[in-house]
Chain A
């Protein structure tokens, strides 16, 4: 299976930018996803990027992809207390005929007022 790594915790002050990092191992072209999970809730798809792209921006969210280092980051601008949640990076298994997702362990983002 694929190996997706994330740091476990991140704390920021309200209004600052948050950067959540992820590394992956698949060397072939792949889709990479960011999901957000609030306490007691399901996973909300935030954004995704295909591995032939370097960057994708969607309102306050910016995804950066460094293909050489297999490093993915999610930047949240002007972080709000409502952004406090667990953020999962996930990679799809392109080697499989089925879309098997491989998740990182999740980064707990805490936003202080």
Chain B
């Protein structure tokens, strides 16, 4: 089983709202990732968690706040977003965080900021 699940599938929020995206995997993977993908573009790495610790933050604005409560779960807390933050947010996981570890992606959350 190589399934990564994400909820919700779609999210519409105003610029003053607070919302969270959720990602879950039960493959025993120890590395989890958040990517942002704009239309017609490749995914852009935002954050990497390795063994439940934040190991990469790609200079993401503080209105995006990741959280890894346990090795199976990854959240992305959203607050005071801008319309340009509208995108597909993808979660991925891999066995470990090394270069030989294949990343498996979830279906994504389509976020619209009004």
**Cα A6 to Cα B4 with chains together (Å):** 27
A55 interfacial contact with B, CB 8 Å? no
Question: Total interface residues on B, using CB and 8 Å?
Answer: 30
Q: Is B108 an interface residue (CB 8 A)?
A: yes
A52 CA to B31 CA, complexed, in Å:
25
Please judge, given known A-B contacts A43-B43, A43-B90, A105-B42, whether A31 and B105 are in contact too, CB under 8 Å: no
Contact string against B for A residues 71-113, beta-carbon threshold 8 Å, 1 for contact and 0 otherwise:
0000000000000000010001110111111011110000000
Interface size on A, residues (CB 8 A): 25
Binding site for B on A (CB under 8 A): 30-31, 33, 35, 40-45, 48, 88, 92-94, 96-101, 103-106
B97 within 8 A of A: yes
Q: What number of A-B contacts does a CB cutoff of 8 Å give?
A: 65
B contacts, CB < 8 Å to A: 2, 4, 6, 31, 40-43, 45, 48, 50, 55-56, 88, 90, 92, 94, 97-108, 110
Nearest-neighbor residue (CB-CB) of A28 within chain B: B99
Cβ–Cβ contact A103 & B43, under 8 A:
yes
Select A92's contact among B50, B99, B107, beta carbons within 8 Å.
B99
Chain B residues with CB below 8 A from A42, complex form: 4, 6, 90, 105-108
